[in-house]
């Protein structure tokens, strides 16, 4: 059990200073902008909560938020079950284990803009392997730059390619920590594969699965670079997710007030959902 | 049993296809790329790689990226070690709240911080330096390192600390000589994750640099837009960015699974 000791604060101070410098100063800047109006020349006028109201009511924000939730929902729906299936069918010991793990982790170590460029090259009609295969071999009319549906499918498949391995590795870590004796006991009892999964494997994966869902939620909700490089938010606005829209407003149009208000609303939503996952997770930890 | 291994094989094949395509493209000439589809490079060329290794803007992009990533990794792990020790061993006023607050920074969308970071680091004259990017990346790497290290430290029984004190070890000596060797897997995994997230993050790195510390990503976008359609060059540059990650991951291969679970299995 951990002992009570207030001096432990000294150990935490360096982290506190570093993160506070990086988090609090910019956060205060954002809060500052969100309640003011500026016409340039560093002149600011008090605006109150008008920007927040304007953003929350704007159809553009609501549409981007809707797309964001749809995207996150879809990738969780695909990546979590797929990750579990792959983890369950992986070998537990032997030469192939590290090879599999390294190959699976590889997509996660590629810079995010390169992931976007790679999928761009991969899906180009006539030139890319996938674009060529779909258009010229299967005869499906596929062009990501013209059709919103194709763009959506490509962005989703790209994220599945990029991040499913995270779920696989987490679940696999849970699975290898199950002692052999559990499986032997199940065999003696004549348990079906389903009940082995339901009563032995799934409970052991519960904590890591919560971490996986938490991480995947956070990262997919904040996703920017990959879809931006791949589609630029297009065609039209069809793949403009929240971050892409935010950067458009903040750095493209330089509308600081609305951008700041949007940032805070955005952050608040991420925080709220993550907090729910986090409480679920730490509740498990304490048992 | 044979049937079961089919799933991982298919999955890995799916992962490798786009990577194969990137590598294949990097060995093709621009003519071949634009003239039509070919599964393997017909006229194998190293020109794209030669172009990168002879142009200082290109190779400095790689060096800059590696410099700030290494700085960030060392800094993040160094400050996270004592903090993780405190969280794993002691209860103190506000510990839970502090831990969650740290994690919230991992949840913040980078897009939210792009503009304020630019202003903050400009105002303290650090804009366009490696240290600025390294410091900015600690925002999400320090919380992650604390989280991972805390998970690994928690699995070390407290009796280890107590025995060492009874044996007359001072705290610093105990920490370096006994505790660190016991959690070296955790330190490796934490360093790996800091490296990974600093290496792959591009939005902040691009926002905080202009010329001197320009990361490889910024060089790539410049090529993609200004030099027309040099797909072969872009593919070669992309291929080269995969290599550092592949090397680093090989070192931690035995701890990957547990590392991704943040030591919590």
Domain containing residue B114: CATH number: 1.10.3720.10
Asked if residue B139 is part of any domain, the answer here is yes
Asked if residue A133 is part of any domain, the answer here is yes
Q: How far is A54 from chain B (nearest CA, A)?
A: 18
Asked if residue B50 is part of any domain, the answer here is no
Q: How far is B163 from chain A (nearest CA, A)?
A: 16
Q: Are residues B236 and B210 in the same domain?
A: yes
Asked if residue B196 is part of any domain, the answer here is yes
Asked if residue A16 is part of any domain, the answer here is no
Looking at every residue in chain A, the average pLDDT score rounds to 85
* CB distance A241 to A108 below 8 Å: no
Contacts of A176 in chain B (CB under 8 A): 257, 265
Asked if residue A82 is part of any domain, the answer here is yes
- CA B233 to each of CA B203, B206, B219: distance values in angstroms, whole numbers, following the listed order: 22, 20, 11
DSSP state of B5: T
Residues 30 to 69 of A: which have CB under 8 A from any B CB?
A: 30
Q: Which of A7, A26, A97 to mutate to test the interface with B (most CBs of B within 10 A)?
A: A26
Asked if residue A28 is part of any domain, the answer here is no
Q: Are residues B202 and B227 in the same domain?
A: yes
String of b and e for A78-114 (b: at least 16 CB within 10 Å)?
bbbebbbbbbbbbeeeeeebeebbbbbbbbbbbbbbb
Q: How far is A16 from chain B (nearest CA, A)?
A: 8
| Number of independent structural domains in chain B | 2
Asked if residue B265 is part of any domain, the answer here is no
Q: Are residues B128 and B181 in the same domain?
A: yes
Q: Are residues B79 and B170 in the same domain?
A: yes
The per-residue pLDDT for A161 is 95
Asked if residue B170 is part of any domain, the answer here is yes
Domain containing residue A84: CATH number: 1.10.3720.10
3-state class of A246 per DSSP?
Answer: helix
Asked if residue A46 is part of any domain, the answer here is no
- Domain range spanning residue B17? 1-45
Helix locations, A89-232, DSSP H: 96-105, 112-123, 129-132, 148-176, 180-188, 193-196, 202-221, 225-231
- pTM value? 0.87
Kindly determine whether residue A4 and residue B90, on different chains, have CB atoms separated by under 8 Å: yes
Q: Which of A107, A207, A225 faces B203 most closely, judged by CB atoms?
A: A225
Asked if residue B88 is part of any domain, the answer here is yes
Q: Are residues B135 and B243 in the same domain?
A: yes
Contacts of A16 in chain B (CB under 8 A): 98
Dist. CA A169–CA B29, nearest whole Å: 38
Asked if residue A95 is part of any domain, the answer here is yes
Q: Are residues B77 and B118 in the same domain?
A: yes
Asked if residue B51 is part of any domain, the answer here is no
Among candidate residues B252, B235, B244, the one with its CA nearest the CA of residue B198: B244
B17 interface with A at CB cutoff 8 Å: yes
Express each pLDDT in A211-260 by its tens digit.
Answer: 888 889 988 988 888 898 888 877 888 888 888 888 888 777 777 778 88
Q: Are residues B39 and B82 in the same domain?
A: no
Contacts of A169 in chain B (CB under 8 A): 256-257, 260-261
Express each pLDDT in A185-212 by its tens digit.
Answer: 888 988 888 888 888 888 888 878 888 8
Dist. CA A52–CA A61, nearest whole Å: 11
The per-residue pLDDT for A156 is 94
User: Is the pLDDT score of A54 beyond 70?
Assistant: yes
Q: Which of B9, B24, B45 is the last residue of a domain?
A: B45
Asked if residue A159 is part of any domain, the answer here is yes
Q: Are residues B30 and B72 in the same domain?
A: no
| Number of independent structural domains in chain A | 1
Count the residues in chain A: 287
The whole-angstrom distance between residue A190's C-alpha and the CA centroid of its chain comes to 40
Q: How many CB atoms lie within 10 A of CB A247?
A: 22
Asked if residue B140 is part of any domain, the answer here is yes
Q: If 0-12 CB within 10 Å is exposed, 13-18 middle and 19+ buried, where does residue B162 land?
A: exposed
- Domain range spanning residue A194? 59-286
Asked if residue A37 is part of any domain, the answer here is no
Q: Are residues B101 and B178 in the same domain?
A: yes
The per-residue pLDDT for A165 is 92
Q: Which of B87, B230, B265 to mutate to test the interface with A (most CBs of A within 10 A)?
A: B265
Q: Are residues B38 and B99 in the same domain?
A: no
Share of chain B above pLDDT 70, in %: 92
Express each pLDDT in B62-91 by its tens digit.
Answer: 899 999 999 999 999 999 999 999 998 888
User: Is the pLDDT score of A21 beyond 90?
Assistant: no
User: Is the pLDDT score of B1 beyond 70?
Assistant: no
Q: Are residues B61 and B174 in the same domain?
A: yes
Among candidate residues A45, A58, A90, A63, the one with its CA nearest the CA of residue A259: A58
Give phi and psi for A222, each to the nearest 5. Answer: -100, 10
Q: Are residues B39 and B144 in the same domain?
A: no
The per-residue pLDDT for B77 is 94
């Amino acid at each position: 059990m951990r002992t009570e000791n207030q001096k432990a604060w000294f150990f935490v101070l360096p982290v506190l200073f570093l993160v506070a410098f990086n988090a609090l100063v910019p956060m205060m800047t954002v809060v500052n902008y969100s309640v003011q109006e500026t016409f340039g020349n560093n002149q600011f006028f008090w605006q109150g909560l008008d920007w927040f109201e304007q953003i929350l009511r704007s159809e553009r924000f609501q549409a981007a938020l809707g797309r964001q939730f749809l995207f996150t929902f879809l990738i969780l729906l695909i990546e979590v079950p797929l990750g579990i299936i792959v983890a369950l069918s992986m070998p537990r010991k032997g030469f192939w284990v590290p090879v599999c793990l390294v190959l699976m982790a590889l997509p996660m170590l590629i810079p995010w803009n390169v992931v976007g460029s790679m999928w761009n090259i991969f899906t180009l009609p006539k030139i890319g392997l996938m674009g060529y295969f779909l258009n010229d071999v299967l005869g499906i009319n596929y062009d990501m730059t013209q059709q919103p549906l194709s763009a959506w499918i490509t962005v989703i498949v790209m994220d599945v390619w990029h991040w499913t391995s995270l779920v696989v590795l987490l679940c696999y870590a849970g699975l290898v920590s199950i002692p052999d004796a559990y499986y032997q006991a199940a065999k003696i009892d004549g348990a079906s594969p389903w009940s082995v999964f339901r009563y032995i494997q799934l409970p052991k994966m519960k904590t890591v699965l919560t971490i996986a869902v938490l991480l995947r939620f956070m990262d997919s909700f904040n996703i920017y670079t990959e879809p931006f490089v791949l589609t630029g938010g297009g065609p039209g606005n069809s793949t403009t997710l929240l971050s892409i829209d935010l950067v458009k407003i903040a750095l493209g149009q330089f509308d600081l007030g609305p951008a700041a208000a949007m940032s805070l609303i955005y952050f608040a939503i991420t925080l709220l959902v993550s907090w729910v996952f986090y409480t679920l997770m730490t509740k498990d930890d304490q048992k | 049993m044979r049937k079961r291994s089919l799933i991982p094989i298919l999955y890995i094949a799916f992962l490798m296809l786009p990577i194969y395509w990137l590598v294949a493209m990097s060995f093709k000439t621009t003519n071949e790329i634009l003239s039509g589809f070919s599964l393997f490079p017909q006229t194998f060329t190293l020109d794209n790689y030669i172009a990168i290794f002879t142009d200082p803007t290109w190779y400095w992009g790689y060096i800059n990226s590696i410099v700030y990533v290494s700085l960030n990794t060392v800094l993040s792990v160094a400050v996270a070690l004592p903090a993780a020790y405190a969280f794993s061993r002691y209860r103190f006023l506000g510990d839970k709240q502090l831990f969650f607050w740290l994690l919230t920074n991992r949840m913040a969308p980078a897009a939210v911080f792009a503009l304020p970071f630019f202003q903050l680091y400009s105002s303290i004259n650090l804009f366009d330096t490696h240290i600025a990017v390294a410091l900015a990346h600690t925002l999400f790497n320090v919380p992650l390192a604390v989280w991972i290290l805390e998970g690994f430290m928690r699995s070390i029984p407290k009796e280890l600390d107590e025995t060492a004190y009874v044996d007359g070890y001072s705290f610093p000596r105990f920490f370096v000589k006994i505790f660190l060797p016991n959690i070296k897997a955790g330190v490796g995994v934490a360093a790996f994750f800091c490296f990974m997230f600093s290496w792959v993050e591009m939005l902040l790195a691009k926002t905080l640099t202009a010329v001197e510390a320009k990361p490889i990503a910024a060089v790539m976008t410049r090529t993609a837009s200004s030099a027309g359609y040099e797909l072969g060059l872009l593919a070669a540059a992309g291929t080269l960015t995969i290599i550092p990650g592949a090397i680093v991951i090989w070192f931690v291969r035995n701890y990957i699974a547990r590392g991704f679970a943040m030591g919590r299995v």
